[in-house]
Structure 1
Amino acid sequence: MLVPSQIELTSHFPLPVDSGTAAAQVLALYRQLHQIVEEHRHVVAGLEGELRSFRHRLEQAESLATTDSLTGLRNRREGERLLRSRTEAGGSFSVALLDLNDFKEINDTWGHASGDAALQFFSQRLRGALLDSETACRWGGDEFLVIFPYGLAAAGVRVRKCVARVSGRYSLRRGVLVNVSTSVGLAEHRPGESVEQLLARADASLYGIKSTR
């Protein structure tokens, strides 16, 4: 059995260590380290708070860059990015351009605040009508674009269901009821076709529908 005088102690710290003073020195060192940690705890907490704040601001900036501020839908810039990504990836997909009928009359009769309210109600209904795999964007003014991840026939079925959901009588505010309907131009992406060419065909389809009203 080893007696205290026969125990050899080593340390990674530049402190003289022997059997008589080892416990006291370790305790003193622990207290010093504990004091250092406590002194810098507020610094670490502050850095963590700043990091969370920065992450939140970054998420807000990303959201503002991709979201339409009035409707909460994707904005046109983000829609164009998604279309380019779809085009590059290949595969079948279709786009629908939706334009509110007689929207100018709402603005002229009830004011722009009512027009904005109509766009918001329309966007809420449109969002609720879509499947998770389908994406809606506010394209500009009273025009919206929906990306369907399938061909023309299936997209046509989905468009009819969406139009039925978004059309109807809207209560914009007390005493203000308006009938909202929409015209739709639909086009399926063709192999090798650019985003601009696809949108031009969808726009031509929409124009053809509106010209018959």
Structure 2
Amino acid sequence: MPVLPRRKAEQWQKISLTTLLTGLVSLSVLLTLTILLFASYQSKKKSLIDTTLTLNYSSAVKMSQTIDSLFISMQNSLHYSAIILSNMNSMNPDEVYPHLELLRHSSNYFNSIAVVDETGLIRSTSPKSLGTVGKYIITEEAKAAMASKKPYVSKPYISATSKRLIVFMSEPIYDKNGIYRGYIGGSLYLQEKNILNMIFANNPSDKLGSYFYIVGSNGHVLFHRDKSRIGEDISANQVVQKLMLNQNGREEMVNLRGEALLAGYVKVPTNGWGVVVVSPISVVSEQLNAQLKAILLYTLPPFVLVMLVVIMLARRLARPFVSLANLVGKMGSEKVEIPDGKRHWNREADLLTEAIRYAVGEITKQTEQLTQEAMTDPLTGLTNRRTLEAIIHRWLEEKTPFSIVIMDIDKFKTINDTYGHQAGDEVLKHFAKIIASSTRPDDVCCRFGGEEFIALLPHANSAVAYHVAERIRSTLEKSATPVGETITVSQGISHYPSHSNSAEELIHLADQALYKAKESGRNRTMITEL
């Protein structure tokens, strides 16, 4: 036999049993940990992406409905004004102007309003500073409104006189004899303060990295948090192209600037606009990475402990074989006594099995602990919002009657501003303890966000919920608080199924009752009224 292969064989044979067993067990634990982390990462990634897409699509639907309702209301206001103008004997500017001023300032729908007679002559405008009274209409959109003699909504266009990006709406005016007398039209200046700014400018999704924009039927930006982009042509965007084909949906996409986004998009029926709500995929990745670091932080200490135990067991397992090797080594050089033979294999297998079971048990324990922490608000120890929503949907599926009590600490911002956020946190924990001690064991207490809390009361009608809510309110008002002054809470109540069969609607109704309690003077409980 060649020398080199013999040496390799001798080197392999010299690997200690302790090293071999430690390596095998370590490899098994590492693989188990890796598989668990990988499976958790992939599952959470899919869940976050699906949830984000669903939320963005839901937001886009709501915004689309808001814009649709807004334009219907704007058209109705013009229709009502057209009826009033049709009853006037003439279109005297002095008679028309007060009505236009009232319409513009009472509704805030339009930046400017004009009345045009059947010849195309502008008879009156609000504001007067437009300077077009006594002139004839010149824009193609104004002429199209004149020619249609019907309610009209233009595509966004640049005004020839003011160079503004405008959306123009009009309503025909017919006199008592059905003769066409012209129209009343309102303009929306998209690049200036308008009704869209008033409704959407303070969208809370910005805090989560998400944002939205509105595009016209031609693919031009009509509303964006970055005003410099209003009027920009983004028709090459894959989502905008689908909106231009009257398609709604949700999907992962890459925008024209190369950003990977999660988008929900919906067409507005009334005017053909499109609403797009997007979230950067990087936000999802950051959440996943943070969660992975947390899992590693909790699993590494027990893993190190397991490894120390495994090394000790491996040494004990190899000890009889070491003794036997030493004994064989002495043979031929000195007299030795052969000890009684002992069978170690079954015991060793049991010890090895227990080590693996211990390792897996520790990892499972930490995973369960992380799962529990993911369901709990870290500050107050109450159930978090995600778990609460899951419980509500389960109860709705099981048709379990329940009441929702939404609670909001009165003037909490003043507490933070006066005593600091740390004192504010102590107040939140104090209130959480009062909620937990004032409810039943089967009730679910949740921190819904900020200073807002929710209690779910199964098998409780509105009267029972009111009694519980009043107990919470009274206890808080009389309690000694961390800031040394009286703190109160306002509360709203809704009930399933008497008020609604929808989770979102139940929370919305309870929230409305809460704000009614706030408006009625705070420190009180209101039940939803249908």
Q: Deviations for 1:103-134, whole angstroms, at most 9, x for unmatched residues?
A: 11110011100000110111011111111121
Q: Deviations for 1:36-81, whole angstroms, at most 9, x for unmatched residues?
A: 1333344223213212212211221211221001000000000101
| Partner amino acid, structure 2, of 1:194 | S
- Which one has more relative contact order, counting CA pairs under 8 Å at least 6 apart? 1
Q: Deviations for 1:6-39, whole angstroms, at most 9, x for unmatched residues?
A: xxxxxxxxxxxxxxxxxxxxx97xx43xx11333
User: 1:145 aligned to 2:454?
Assistant: yes
Aligned partner of 1:185 among 479, 489, 492: 492
The share of aligned pairs that are identical, in percent, is: 28
1:87-102 counterparts in 2 under 5 A?
87-102=396-411
User: 1:111 aligned to 2:420?
Assistant: yes
| Partner amino acid, structure 2, of 1:137 | C
| Partner amino acid, structure 2, of 1:159 | A
1:1-213 counterparts in 2 under 5 A?
31-32=342-343, 35-149=344-458, 150-172=460-482, 176-190=483-497, 193-213=501-521
Supply the distance in 2 between the matched residues of 1:161 and 1:171 (Cα, whole angstroms): 16
Which structure 2 segments of 5+ residues have no match? 1-339, 522-530
Which structure 1 segments of 5+ residues have no match? 1-26
| Partner amino acid, structure 2, of 1:145 | I
Contact 1:99–1:144 (8 Å) recurs in 2: yes
Contact 2:385–2:449 (8 Å) recurs in 1: yes
Supply the distance in 1 between the matched residues of 2:455 and 2:477 (Cα, whole angstroms): 16
Partner of 1:5: none
The number of residue pairs the alignment matches comes to 180
Supply the distance in 1 between the matched residues of 2:403 and 2:467 (Cα, whole angstroms): 12
Tell me the secondary structure at the aligned position of residue 381 of structure 2: coil
Deviation at 1:165, TM superposition (A): 2.3
Supply the distance in 1 between the matched residues of 2:472 and 2:507 (Cα, whole angstroms): 20
TM-score normalised by the chain length of structure 2: 0.33
Partner of 1:3: none
Q: Pairwise CA RMSD of aligned residues?
A: 1.9
TM-score normalised by the chain length of structure 1: 0.78
Tell me the secondary structure at the aligned position of residue 64 of structure 1: helix
Supply the distance in 1 between the matched residues of 2:517 and 2:471 (Cα, whole angstroms): 17
Supply the distance in 2 between the matched residues of 1:81 and 1:137 (Cα, whole angstroms): 12
Deviation at 1:92, TM superposition (A): 2.0
